[in-house]
Chains A and B, each alone.
Chain A
Amino acid sequence: MFKLERRPTPSKAMVVLTPVLAVVLTMIAGGILFAILGKNPFEAIRIIFWDPLFNETVASYTRPQLLIKAAPLITIALGLSFGYRANIWNIGAEGQFIMGAVTGGAVGLAFYPTESVMIFPLMVLAGAMGGFFWAMIPAFLKIKFNANEILVSLMLVYVAINFLSAMVTGPLRSPVGMNFPVSRNFNEYPSAYNGELIANTGLHMGVLVTLAAIIVAYILLKHHIFGFQVRAAGQSPRAAKFSGVNPNITVAICLGISGGLAGMAGLFEVTGPAGKLSTNFPLGYGFTAIIVAFLGRLNPIGIMLAGLLMALTYIGGELAQFQLSVPAASVQVFQGMLLFFMLAVDILVNFRVRIAKKEVA
């Protein structure tokens, strides 16, 4: 019989090893899944994890996609990680992502066709504000009425999706879009376009912002009193309050940071990779980022690696879709398994497995 025994102190090695273990377990379970679907599991795993990076016939398309997909995931997950450390559960980053794209995009389109270097920064700011204020709704309700931020932020995702539909079928509908529910295309408006900075790398402005966010988040969490207060508030709310941390301000700041970053990520996405606002714009990055945050152990460096890995499963999943004709849902199953295994093996940080001897009474 296996027996779990509490470790005297949490294992530092397991903090690093459990995400790796979760990935390995996901590969094994995924392989079994593909085998049941009648596909060669080794080929499927290779297509998902290896080909996007190293198979030269597809890599010219897939490699740039890595940064394009990873940047929004990492940016959103970094924001979420502050709240999650403080036990503030923003589940609605998807909504904040959409609102950032809509408000930032709307500000840009309002200036069309004026060209100015000021327009794009203004859009980024507006995008961040859109996400920020969308996140302030659950923050306000939590502080004022102790409303559960998980439910409020999640429900606001659906409000945001409908708001986006209303905008692209109404005020923001493209005058040249033949009545399709889409906005004007940003790549036809140079001042508002978030193009590749270096061709065929996937590197756009949003990626640079992501890099900056990783560094700032790392410093805040590891070396700044704010990161300390966030951790204290999450681990021991009363001790944090005793030390002078105002819990209401912590709620507002944590939701504000995650909303602002998600909004900014939405703006970079809509003005670059997505190209336009449309009802197809939401891709679920805001939800996938929750997995990225946990897989990265709420640690900025971990989140960066987890974001890249998760981007790989998106790209590899697409490859597997048309090369092996597996269902599109298999990518989501894959990502879901990652979070599932991550949460399952997490217990090894605080416990170790012992093979219990039969004791004679």
Chain B
Amino acid sequence: MTALLSLSGLTKAYPGVIANDNVSFDIGPGEIHALLGENGAGKSTLVKMIYGLVRPDSGTMMLHGEPYAPPEPRAARASGVAMVFQHFSLFDALTVAENIALGMENAPDTVDLTQRIIEVSGKYGLTIDPFRMVGDLSAGERQRVEIVRCLLQNPKLLIMDEPTSVLTPQEVEVLFHTLRQLSSEGTSILYISHKLDEIKALCEHATILRHGKVVGTCVPKNETAKSMAEMMVGETLRTPKKHYTRHGAALLELHNLWLQSKDPFGTNLKEITFNLHEGEVMGVGGVAGNGQDELMLALSGEELTPAHAIQFKGEDIGNLGPNARRLRGLLTAPEERLGHAAAPDMTLSENAFLTGAMRQGLTRNGIIKAAATRNFARAIIEQFDVRTPGTENVAGSLSGGNLQKFVIGREILQRPEVFVVNQPTWGVDAAAAADIRSAILDLATNGAAVLVISQDLDELMEISDNIAILSEGTLSVPRPAQGITIEQIGLMMGGTEVENV
């Protein structure tokens, strides 16, 4: 059987780094092939070459036995190669249908296209409204748009970069069903994910990259998640240990919090009430777009609420801004690393200052203490193993996982009494995710209260004492994590959508 796509000796160097070094492997027709590797291992560069975004310095590709060197993505799509990106390439100011039309050759007229979007999204359980503005969609919904856009093109090879990070377990099941169906119809899939269990469940072959080189291939079914992770990182994986659960006084109390979302398509928060105690890790699960962003904004102080709705150690703080809350000990880390948690064009020092200025005392009479700020940034980089040449590099130059470690480290080093974090390990490789989770657990062990908002249920199960589900702006009563099954939670959070399939 000849390979659908055959890569041989692909090499691509950027100034200062060899992103891909002599990479060779084959993808058979209808094969689901996993590409594994840490952040910065060269996965993105490799798929960009296949998709025509980057030209290899040397090496060749063969598609259907013919030489294949797409000069641009349009040519790749014409050859039947489609890609779902990890970072969305969508225009905020256009509707879902317009965005999809832009990514298609010979897009049908709006009525036909809308009809096809509804068909495809219904068929694969990826509910989206073609008339919504993309700017108003959550991260999870945007990803659905990307997936549907590719599926409309009937690709021969579908490249998926972290496609499941914002889906519920049931939606993942449906997606896997879809992918297997596509595969049985002869479409090959190149599947990039950090979730090793998914790869084990879905993929027939895996190619493992480290530092731009192929370091191994395996049949995921014959491996364990741990053994694959070890091949990937080249070191033994640290498993976070569940901390001892002894809860003290309530540090953060929410009393009947209502919040009207500023976004016309956002989700209003309704009657959110819970207490978060010393030493407790509470997980908030739920599908993206059910009020996670709004809850985060209300807790960080970016959106103000009636003073009494949020209490920190008995004090009303609902009407206080972000810095007043930081000074009291309530620290937050939002989901979106670039542009929200960190400013991409600012250096790591400046980004350390961004939230550390007040609590770390990095100013004197308004003048920034440059040395103290650099030291704070350096401490974050060292203690959280952020891989970067130095504190004066811009945040945008870091890989997703490294920047996430920086963002989480920045807050943890400020010794929060209450720490709220949204999607702590989204798009982060296994080793970095394990580090971040154990840092969160250490924080709780030392007496802080932690609220983790995440769509990754495995993660919530692993680190939470209590789990609550946010659904259409309403938070369920928190329950002890022990004894809940992942299936139960999944049905609670997204059941109705999936049942319609």
B55 within 8 A of A: yes
CA distance A225 to B71 in the complex (A): 46
A218 within 8 A of B: no
Contact A228 B353 (CB under 8 A): yes
- Chain A residue at minimum C-beta to C-beta distance from B354: A243
User: Could you say which residues of chain B place their CB within 8 Å of the CB of A239?
Assistant: 339-343, 354
Contact A244 B322 (CB under 8 A): yes
**B 305-334 to A, binary, CB cutoff 8 A, 1 in contact else 0:** 000000000000000011100100000101
A46 within 8 A of B: no
User: Could you say which residues of chain A place their CB within 8 Å of the CB of B323?
Assistant: 243-244
B486 within 8 A of A: no
CA distance A134 to B481 in the complex (A): 60
CA distance A226 to B350 in the complex (A): 13
CA distance A238 to B92 in the complex (A): 15
Neighbour of B14 across the interface among A8, A226, A236, A240, CB < 8 A:
A8
- Chain B residue at minimum C-beta to C-beta distance from A239: B343
CA distance A241 to B322 in the complex (A): 8
- CB proximity of A218 to chain B, nearest CB, Å: 12
User: Could you say which residues of chain B place their CB within 8 Å of the CB of A361?
Assistant: 67, 69, 71
Contact A9 B394 (CB under 8 A): yes
CA distance A19 to B363 in the complex (A): 33
**A 218-229 to B, binary, CB cutoff 8 A, 1 in contact else 0:** 010001111010
A248 within 8 A of B: no
CA distance A235 to B354 in the complex (A): 13
- Count of chain B residues with a beta carbon within 8 Å of a chain A beta carbon: 39
- Please judge, given known A-B contacts A361-B67, A361-B69, whether A241 and B302 are in contact too, CB under 8 Å: yes
Contact A242 B366 (CB under 8 A): no
CA distance A185 to B439 in the complex (A): 73
- Chain B residue at minimum C-beta to C-beta distance from A224: B366
- Please judge, given known A-B contacts A8-B14, A228-B350, A244-B322, whether A236 and B343 are in contact too, CB under 8 Å: yes
Contact B367 A236 (CB under 8 A): no
B368 within 8 A of A: yes
- Chain A residue at minimum C-beta to C-beta distance from B340: A238
CA distance A319 to B324 in the complex (A): 59
- Chain A residue at minimum C-beta to C-beta distance from B337: A239
Please provide the chain B residues from 387 to 442 with a CB less than 8 Å away from any CB of chain A in the complex: 393-394, 397
- CB proximity of A228 to chain B, nearest CB, Å: 6
Contact A235 B397 (CB under 8 A): no
User: Could you say which residues of chain B place their CB within 8 Å of the CB of A10?
Assistant: 394
Contact A225 B363 (CB under 8 A): yes
Contact A240 B394 (CB under 8 A): no
- Chain A residue at minimum C-beta to C-beta distance from B55: A359
Contact B339 A238 (CB under 8 A): yes
User: Could you say which residues of chain A place their CB within 8 Å of the CB of B393?
Assistant: 9
Contact B368 A228 (CB under 8 A): yes
Contact A225 B357 (CB under 8 A): yes
- Please judge, given known A-B contacts A9-B397, A361-B67, whether A244 and B334 are in contact too, CB under 8 Å: no
Contact A224 B368 (CB under 8 A): yes
- Chain B residue at minimum C-beta to C-beta distance from A7: B15
User: Could you say which residues of chain B place their CB within 8 Å of the CB of A184?
Assistant: none
A246 within 8 A of B: yes
B355 within 8 A of A: yes
A231 within 8 A of B: yes
CA distance A317 to B113 in the complex (A): 59
A232 within 8 A of B: yes
- CB proximity of B104 to chain A, nearest CB, Å: 25
B16 within 8 A of A: yes
- Chain B residue at minimum C-beta to C-beta distance from A360: B69
- Please judge, given known A-B contacts A223-B367, A361-B67, whether A244 and B321 are in contact too, CB under 8 Å: yes
CA distance A223 to B366 in the complex (A): 8
CA distance A292 to B296 in the complex (A): 42
- Please judge, given known A-B contacts A8-B397, A232-B343, whether A243 and B357 are in contact too, CB under 8 Å: yes
CA distance A241 to B326 in the complex (A): 13
Neighbour of B326 across the interface among A224, A235, A240, A244, CB < 8 A:
A244
Contact A240 B343 (CB under 8 A): yes
- Chain B residue at minimum C-beta to C-beta distance from A227: B368
CA distance A226 to B340 in the complex (A): 19
- CB proximity of B155 to chain A, nearest CB, Å: 22
CA distance A225 to B361 in the complex (A): 12
Please provide the chain A residues from 1 to 42 with a CB less than 8 Å away from any CB of chain B in the complex: 8-10
User: Could you say which residues of chain B place their CB within 8 Å of the CB of A232?
Assistant: 343, 346, 350, 354
Contact B366 A243 (CB under 8 A): no
CA distance A361 to B75 in the complex (A): 13
User: Could you say which residues of chain A place their CB within 8 Å of the CB of B14?
Assistant: 8
**B 353-377 to A, binary, CB cutoff 8 A, 1 in contact else 0:** 1110110000100111010000000
CA distance A219 to B345 in the complex (A): 21
CA distance A251 to B367 in the complex (A): 21
Contact B300 A242 (CB under 8 A): yes
CA distance A228 to B323 in the complex (A): 15
- CB proximity of A175 to chain B, nearest CB, Å: 49
Neighbour of A225 across the interface among B300, B301, B341, B366, CB < 8 A:
B366
Of residues B14, B321, B343, B353, which shows the largest number of chain A Cβ atoms within 10 Å of its Cβ? Answer: B343
Please provide the chain B residues from 224 to 271 with a CB less than 8 Å away from any CB of chain A in the complex: none
User: Could you say which residues of chain A place their CB within 8 Å of the CB of B494?
Assistant: none
Contact A246 B346 (CB under 8 A): no
Contact A246 B321 (CB under 8 A): yes
Contact A236 B394 (CB under 8 A): no
User: Could you say which residues of chain B place their CB within 8 Å of the CB of A226?
Assistant: 366
CA distance A330 to B127 in the complex (A): 61
B344 within 8 A of A: yes
CA distance A238 to B55 in the complex (A): 34
CA distance A244 to B302 in the complex (A): 8
Contact A242 B394 (CB under 8 A): no
User: Could you say which residues of chain B place their CB within 8 Å of the CB of A240?
Assistant: 343
User: Could you say which residues of chain A place their CB within 8 Å of the CB of B336?
Assistant: 238
Please provide the chain A residues from 324 to 361 with a CB less than 8 Å away from any CB of chain B in the complex: 359, 361
User: Could you say which residues of chain A place their CB within 8 Å of the CB of B366?
Assistant: 224-226
- CB proximity of B17 to chain A, nearest CB, Å: 9
- CB proximity of B313 to chain A, nearest CB, Å: 20
Of residues B332, B336, B354, B393, which shows the largest number of chain A Cβ atoms within 10 Å of its Cβ? Answer: B354
- CB proximity of A223 to chain B, nearest CB, Å: 5
User: Could you say which residues of chain B place their CB within 8 Å of the CB of A241?
Assistant: 302, 322
CA distance A347 to B368 in the complex (A): 30
User: Could you say which residues of chain A place their CB within 8 Å of the CB of B322?
Assistant: 241-244
A243-B323, A244-B301 known, 20 other contacts, Cβ within 8 Å: A8-B15, A10-B394, A224-B366, A224-B367, A225-B357, A228-B368, A232-B350, A232-B354, A236-B340, A236-B343, A236-B345, A236-B346, A238-B336, A239-B342, A239-B343, A241-B302, A242-B332, A243-B322, A361-B67, A361-B71
3 tightest CB-CB pairs across the interface, nearest first?
Answer: A236-B343, A244-B323, A244-B322
Q: List 11 A-B contacts (CB under 8 A).
A: A8-B397, A219-B367, A239-B341, A239-B342, A239-B354, A242-B334, A242-B340, A242-B341, A244-B322, A244-B358, A361-B67
Question: Which positions in B face A, CB cutoff 8 Å?
Answer: 14-16, 55, 67, 69, 71, 300-302, 321-323, 326, 332, 334, 336, 339-346, 350, 353-355, 357-358, 363, 366-368, 370, 393-394, 397
